[in-house]
Amino acid sequence: MQKNFSKTVIFLSTFILCACSNQSQQNISHSVTTTTTQQTTAQQTIMKQSSTQTSSTVDYDVNEIVALVKKDFPDFDIESISLTLNVPTPLFEVDLIGNDSEKTIQVNTQTKDKVILKEEMLDSDERNGVERQKEAINTSSLSSITNVLNAVKQTLAVDTVTKISLDQELGITYWEVELYSANQKKEVKVDNATLKVLEIDHD
């Protein structure tokens, strides 16, 4: 009788230990699953925030950048402007042209700090204001980036905007917007004065 009682106690003890072990494993599994779900949710949130930062809803005051650059470089005219968005801190690059030389200036959109990236003399036949007269952009009436992007969105669906540039060709000042639409890269040219879409290139 004593032997049977001992066997019963051992059996019950083993059963209880197994049950506790299974419960512990279930708790650990649930904890791992919860942590993984939280990490996935956090990653999705970060991706969504990153996409929002480079989306077409972001606006930067190009006229403010023009004023800042002209204040520091009054003897130069603006030849082109570009804004790169698919980076942690969006950056403006401004190409300047003077009578005898040209510069490229980088402007931080957050701090407004300016850095000279490149500076060189013009060719001899381009000096004395010859090239400057041909390439200088009239920046007195630039369309806002918001209005340019709104014009693009009236023509096609915009997923993400990666770069916006201002340039001039044959006397026409235009914006070029690099973007993704339906997972396809496109480049859209928009007339600065009329906000009319001039051209759409598909990569």
Residue pLDDT tens, the chain, 203 long? 444 444 444 443 444 444 444 554 555 444 444 444 444 443 433 333 334 444 444 569 999 999 999 999 999 999 999 999 989 999 999 999 999 999 999 999 999 999 999 999 999 999 999 999 999 999 999 999 999 999 999 999 999 999 999 999 988 999 999 999 999 999 999 999 999 999 999 87
Domain presence at residue 21: yes
Q: What are phi and psi of 138, to 5 degrees?
A: -80, 110
Closest-CA residue to 167 (of 83, 68, 110, 56): 83
Q: For position 51, what pLDDT does the model report?
A: 40
Rounded to whole angstroms, the Cα distance separating 162 from 182 reads 14
Report yes or no: 94 and 104 within 8 Å, Cβ to Cβ.
yes
Rounded to whole angstroms, the Cα distance separating 18 from 120 reads 79
Residues 150 and 66 occupy one common structural domain: yes
- Amino acid 108 reads N
Q: Is the pTM of this model over 0.75?
A: no
Q: What's the CA dihedral at 66, 69, 72, 78 to 10 degrees?
A: -90
Domain presence at residue 4: yes
Residues 38 and 78 occupy one common structural domain: no
Domain that holds residue 186: 62-202
Counted domains in the chain: 2
Q: For position 70, what pLDDT does the model report?
A: 96
Domain presence at residue 2: yes
Residues in the chain: 203
**Please, what sign has the CA dihedral across residues 68, 120, 115, 81?**
positive
Q: For position 35, what pLDDT does the model report?
A: 44
Q: For position 203, what pLDDT does the model report?
A: 75
Residues 110 and 27 occupy one common structural domain: no
Domain presence at residue 55: no
Q: For position 26, what pLDDT does the model report?
A: 52
Q: For position 102, what pLDDT does the model report?
A: 98
Residues 196 and 132 occupy one common structural domain: yes
Report yes or no: 56 and 149 within 8 Å, Cβ to Cβ.
yes
Rounded to whole angstroms, the Cα distance separating 104 from 119 reads 7
Residues 25 and 72 occupy one common structural domain: no
Rounded to whole angstroms, the Cα distance separating 136 from 127 reads 14
Rounded to whole angstroms, the Cα distance separating 60 from 63 reads 9
Residues 45 and 5 occupy one common structural domain: yes
Rounded to whole angstroms, the Cα distance separating 131 from 143 reads 25
Residues 22 and 74 occupy one common structural domain: no
